[in-house]
């Protein structure tokens, strides 16, 4: 049934999570703090709102405040009952198939993650090894692994708010990757997350590749602001940003970074912090920062920030290439060959990087409260990988204040997050953030940006 607000309907799964236990259904209906209803509703709304032009999750949730989704147990399996679902998810009253698949991927991952965490004897998420094992099991349950293939997954990071020129460049890089029979994994949203997938899809068609993978990895806090783009054919929802980032670096064989804002900066600092750990010194991991020729100044700014805070060793872990998509793809392909040799020599899996050392400070969830943001250790009296971790948390808090519902509400109630630290760290940080604001990288075009942070120098 369709009305002026949205669509009310029932849908059944197609070969994915067709049955649930009564206990699982009750948990999905549970609206209390420990229940799964709220997180399931939020993620489902994001999936159904594919193609939206807002990156303000609070506004989106308020716009669709009457949207509801319920799991209905039936003798032959389950169905999802939707009320006032966004019209954009339907064509002539029927839900678009890709969105329907994404909806049940959300259900699959939320149910599995909850079930796994209930079994506390198996996963203690205060232990580093158990966190990695939990991520592995969640990815395996989502069928993200293919044991019979060589390394070929390229993770692409970049902003959701980018110019048309920057978007077209990401698409051409994706095209060059696809021509070399490489698959693409992104954060699943618009902008620099959609472009590489679109380019790769066209290239895979040229190469007559019918099973090309366009993997989107998201998490509940960000998915409403970055709804999955329609090219994603494997959607995976991780429980939080830290597990999302670890999933990227454990499953990817190379990483390409396009221009972006604070979210992209957070990803860069996470990656460099991991690679700067002494135990990862010999591990090959191709990392390329790239954009059109017009992006040269942007990457010069990023490079200056990294050298000015983390030092030249961090700079040695990536390459900057502008205006040359073919060279980017060629170097990625060559770098992946080195990854393959390293994994083969050390008897490590091609599909999951078990050997990569990730310090627990990068794994434990960071809650961006005003107190936590004010007490970040932004000083030089610590190893570079730990400074990278603290800088990553600063950017994570700004992302929360910019686009995440909980973070936006905190900033509205208590004012901007305050960031303290050494002047030698805060000065380049403030300059970088001011440039992001000036270049409209904090919000989608047309949205007025009110800073969610204040640098206390």
Average pLDDT over residues 355-380: 95
Same-domain status, 251 and 393: yes
> What confidence score (pLDDT) does residue 405 get?
80
Burial of 23 (0-12, 13-18, 19+ CB in 10 A): exposed
Same-domain status, 114 and 157: no
Q: Tell which residue, 186, 210, 209, 211, has the closest CA to residue 197.
A: 186
CATH number of the domain enclosing 379: 3.40.50.450
> What confidence score (pLDDT) does residue 223 get?
86
In contact, 274 and 248? CB cutoff 8 Å:
no
Q: Which of 100, 118, 136 is the last residue of a domain?
A: 118
For 425-455, the pLDDT digits (tens) are 999 999 999 998 888 887 666 667 888 999 9
Q: Distance from CA of residue 206 to its chain's centroid?
A: 28
Q: Distance from CA of residue 283 to its chain's centroid?
A: 23
Report whether pLDDT(162) > 90.
no
For 180-233, the pLDDT digits (tens) are 999 999 999 999 999 999 999 999 999 999 999 999 999 998 887 788 999 999
Report whether pLDDT(32) > 90.
no
> What confidence score (pLDDT) does residue 349 get?
94
How does strand 214-218 pair with strand 234-237? Answer: parallel
Same-domain status, 378 and 452: yes
317: pLDDT confidence band, cut at 50, 70 and 90? very high
15: pLDDT confidence band, cut at 50, 70 and 90? low
Which range has the top average pLDDT, 12-16, 146-150, 282-286? 282-286
Report whether pLDDT(357) > 80.
yes
| 3-state helix/strand/coil string of 377-438 | CCCCCCCHHHHHHHHHHHHHHHHHHHHCHHHHHHHHHHCCEEECCCHHHHHHHHHHHHHHHH
In degrees rounded to 5, what are phi and psi of residue 139?
-65, -40
Average pLDDT over residues 344-366: 96
Same-domain status, 158 and 236: yes
Flag whether 24 is in a domain.
yes
Considering the chain, what is the average pLDDT of its residues?
Answer: 91
Same-domain status, 381 and 281: yes
For 259-312, the pLDDT digits (tens) are 999 999 999 999 999 999 999 999 999 999 999 999 999 999 999 999 999 999
Residue 25 CB: number of other CB atoms within 10 A? 16
25: pLDDT confidence band, cut at 50, 70 and 90? confident
Report whether pLDDT(118) > 60.
yes
Same-domain status, 275 and 390: yes
Count: domains in the chain: 2
Report whether pLDDT(3) > 70.
no
Same-domain status, 221 and 158: yes
The Cα–Cα gap between 434 and 455 comes to: 11
Same-domain status, 317 and 226: yes
Print the domain residue range for 25: 7-118
The Cα–Cα gap between 60 and 225 comes to: 8
Report whether pLDDT(111) > 80.
yes
102: pLDDT confidence band, cut at 50, 70 and 90? very high
Same-domain status, 413 and 272: yes
Flag whether 267 is in a domain.
yes
Share of the chain above pLDDT 90, in %: 70
Same-domain status, 223 and 323: yes
- DSSP-derived secondary structure letter, 19: -
Q: Token pair of 32, please? A: 């209390």
For 403-420, the pLDDT digits (tens) are 788 888 999 999 999 999
For 70-86, the pLDDT digits (tens) are 998 877 778 899 999 98
Residue 11 CB: number of other CB atoms within 10 A? 16
Burial of 128 (0-12, 13-18, 19+ CB in 10 A): middle
Same-domain status, 96 and 176: no
Share of the chain above pLDDT 70, in %: 94
């Amino acid at each position: 049934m369709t009305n002026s607000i949205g669509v009310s309907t029932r849908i059944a799964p197609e070969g994915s999570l067709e049955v649930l236990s009564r206990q699982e259904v009750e948990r999905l209906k549970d609206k209390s703090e420990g229940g799964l209803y709220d997180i399931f509703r939020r993620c489902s709304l994001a999936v159904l709102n594919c193609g939206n032009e807002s990156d303000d999750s609070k506004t989106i949730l308020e716009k669709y405040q009457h949207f509801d989704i319920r799991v209905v147990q039936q003798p032959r399996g389950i169905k999802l009952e939707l009320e006032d679902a966004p019209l954009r998810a339907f064509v002539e009253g029927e839900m678009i198939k890709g969105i329907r698949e994404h909806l049940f991927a959300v259900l699959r991952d939320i149910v599995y993650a909850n079930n796994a965490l209930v079994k506390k004897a198996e996963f203690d998420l205060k232990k580093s090894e158990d966190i990695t094992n939990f991520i592995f099991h969640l990815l395996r349950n989502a069928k993200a692994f293919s044991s019979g293939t060589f390394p070929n997954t390229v993770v692409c990071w970049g902003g959701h708010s980018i110019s048309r020129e920057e978007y077209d460049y990401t698409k051409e890089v994706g095209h060059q990757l696809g021509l070399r029979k490489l698959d693409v994994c992104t954060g699943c949203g618009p902008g620099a997350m959609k472009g590489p997938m679109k380019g790769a899809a066209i290239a895979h068609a040229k190469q007559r590749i019918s099973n090309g993978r366009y993997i989107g990895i998201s998490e509940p806090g960000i998915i409403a602001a970055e709804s999955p783009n329609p090219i994603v054919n494997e959607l995976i929802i991780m429980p939080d940003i830290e597990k999302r980032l670890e999933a990227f670096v454990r499953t990817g064989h190379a990483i390409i970074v396009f221009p972006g804002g604070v979210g992209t900066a957070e990803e860069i600092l996470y990656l460099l912090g991991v690679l700067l750990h002494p135990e990862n010194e010999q591990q090959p991991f191709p990392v390329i920062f790239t954009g059109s020729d017009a992006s040269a100044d942007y990457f010069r700014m990023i490079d200056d920030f990294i050298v000015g805070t983390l030092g030249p060793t961090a700079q040695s872990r990536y390459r900057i290439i502008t205006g040359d998509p073919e060279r980017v793809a060629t170097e990625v392909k060559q770098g992946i060959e080195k990854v393959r040799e390293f994994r083969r020599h050390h008897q490590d899996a091609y599909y999951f990087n078990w050997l990569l050392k990730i310090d627990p400070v990068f794994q434990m969830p960071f809650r961006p409260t005003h107190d936590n943001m004010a007490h970040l250790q932004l000083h030089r009296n610590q190893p570079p990988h730990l400074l990278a971790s603290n800088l990553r948390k600063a950017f994570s808090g700004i992302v929360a204040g910019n686009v995440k519902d909980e973070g936006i509400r905190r900033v509205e109630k208590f004012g901007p997050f305050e960031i303290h630290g050494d002047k030698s760290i805060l000065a380049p940080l403030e300059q970088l953030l001011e440039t992001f604001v000036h270049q409209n990288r904090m919000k989608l075009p047309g949205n007025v940006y009110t800073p969610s942070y204040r640098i206390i120098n």
